[in-house]
């Protein structure tokens, strides 16, 4: 692949991990701390959805308790945490209905008392008050991460420029949650932070080209990237990461600058060959003068990246800024 004429910077930035997949891995590690409560609630929902008569009994209880939520209970896919979030989000609104169901519907309690041939319970549950409290904690937790994969997986808009913002958003929230006095929340956060550091904490595992996309936004530039790093890391690491982002930007700029020089040089040779028979002046002198101008412009433009970074940022709140026309 290094021999391909279209390869950029020796394919240094070719490999990019699927960001949405990494978020899924991170959240799944956090869910391990609360799996029993989730299973209890899942089994309660499975009972309600297992027959029309049970669903009818559930709806009657909801009417008696004047539950205003019109959404229907849904089951999740155990391996997809975002579906678990949607399941719990609806089920939590019907907590009192499940409690009433346990008091007024004999089939509900007997459903959880069924045993197999060895005398073991087939299903754990029903959910108790602790399970519902854990579910509410989990909902607050998952809400932070639910929208992130949706932004990463968009197909109708550019997603590369959203990576850094979402990365900082997740990292900041995880750091706050790790300081929580709630043991459950703290345990989930610590597990997730460990996985987060595995994929995005090590510099060797990061593709800094994804940070460069934010630097190219005239409303943000390198100042924004450095500011965000400063809220997460110590001074030395901030300087190191910022320098890496800047070096990647400069390397990319120099690559395209050289590519343009080759094109201009070929065009210059062709122009000289086409005009040599029609010109009576010293062609070599004009050619040397043209090359001198190109070299002078090249030297001046070599600091174009620095000038861009030093200049002030546009208004960060200007959503109507046309970046391509800037």
Gap between the Cα atoms of 68 and 107, Å rounded? 25
Nearest to 113 by CA among 36, 47, 45, 42: 47
Rounded (10°) angle between helices 163-178 and 129-152: 160
As beta bridge partners, residue 115 has 121
- Please answer whether residues 145 and 170 qualify as being in contact, where contact means their C-beta atoms are separated by less than 8 angstroms: yes
**Cβ–Cβ contacts within 10 Å for residue 224, how many?**
18
Q: What is the pLDDT along the chain (326 residues), one digit of tens a residue?
A: 555 556 666 666 666 777 878 888 888 877 776 778 899 999 999 999 999 999 999 999 999 999 888 899 999 987 788 899 999 999 999 999 999 998 888 899 888 888 777 777 778 889 999 999 989 988 988 888 888 888 877 777 777 778 888 888 889 988 988 888 888 788 888 888 888 888 887 776 778 888 888 898 888 889 999 998 998 889 999 999 999 999 988 888 888 888 766 555 555 555 545 544 444 444 466 666 666 666 665 555 556 788 788 788 888 888 888 877 77
Q: Are 99 and 108 in contact (CB under 8 A)?
A: no
Cβ(189)–Cβ(30) below 8 Å: yes
CA distance 318 to 213: 17
pLDDT of residue 321: 81
Q: Which of 81, 212, 73, 224 is nearest to 146 (CA)?
A: 81
Burial (0-12, 13-18, 19+ Cβ within 10 Å), 97: buried
52, 60 in Cβ contact below 8 A?
no
The C-alpha atoms of residue 60 and residue 101 are separated, in whole angstroms, by 10
How high is the mean pLDDT of the chain?
Answer: 81
Contacts 24+ apart (CB under 8 A), 71-77: 73/45, 73/48, 73/49, 74/45, 75/42, 75/45, 75/46, 75/49, 76/42
- Tokens 């069924």 sit on residue: 114
DSSP-assigned letters across all residues of 149-183 = HHHHT-SSS--GGGHHHHHHHHHHHHHHHHT-S-H
Nearest CA to 31 among 88, 73, 109?
88
Tokens of 282: 């010293």
Local structure of 115: helix, strand or coil: strand
CB 221 within 8 A of CB 308: yes
């Amino acid at each position: 692949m290094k021999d391909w004429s279209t390869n950029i910077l020796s394919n240094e930035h070719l490999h990019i991990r699927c960001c949405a997949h990494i978020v899924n891995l991170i959240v799944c590690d956090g869910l391990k701390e609360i799996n029993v409560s989730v299973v209890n609630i899942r089994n309660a929902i499975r009972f309600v959805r297992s027959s029309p008569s049970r669903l009818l009994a559930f709806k009657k209880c909801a009417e008696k308790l004047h539950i205003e939520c019109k959404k229907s209970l849904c089951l999740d896919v155990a391996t997809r945490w975002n579906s678990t979030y949607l399941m719990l989000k609806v089920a939590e609104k019907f907590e009192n209905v499940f409690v009433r169901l346990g008091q007024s519907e004999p089939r509900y309690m007997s459903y959880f008392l069924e045993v197999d041939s060895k005398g073991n319970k087939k299903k754990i549950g029903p959910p108790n008050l602790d399970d519902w409290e854990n579910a509410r904690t989990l909902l607050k937790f998952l809400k932070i991460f639910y929208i992130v994969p949706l932004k990463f997986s968009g197909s109708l808009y550019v997603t590369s420029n959203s990576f850094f913002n979402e990365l900082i958003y997740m990292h900041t929230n995880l750091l706050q949650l790790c300081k929580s006095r709630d043991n459950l929340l703290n345990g989930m956060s610590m597990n997730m932070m460990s996985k987060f550091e595995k994929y995005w904490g090590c510099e060797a595992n990061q593709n800094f080209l994804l940070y460069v996309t934010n630097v190219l936004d005239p409303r943000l530039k390198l100042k924004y990237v450095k500011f965000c790093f400063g809220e997460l890391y110590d001074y030395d690491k901030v300087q190191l990461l910022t320098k890496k982002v800047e070096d990647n930007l400069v390397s990319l700029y120099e690559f395209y600058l050289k590519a343009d020089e080759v094109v201009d040089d070929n065009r210059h040779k062709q122009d000289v060959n086409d005009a040599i028979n029609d010109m009576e002046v010293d062609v070599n002198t004009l050619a040397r003068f043209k090359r001198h101008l190109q070299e002078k412009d090249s030297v001046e433009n070599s600091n174009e990246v620095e000038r861009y970074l030093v200049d002030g940022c546009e208004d960060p709140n200007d959503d109507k800024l046309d970046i391509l026309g800037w």
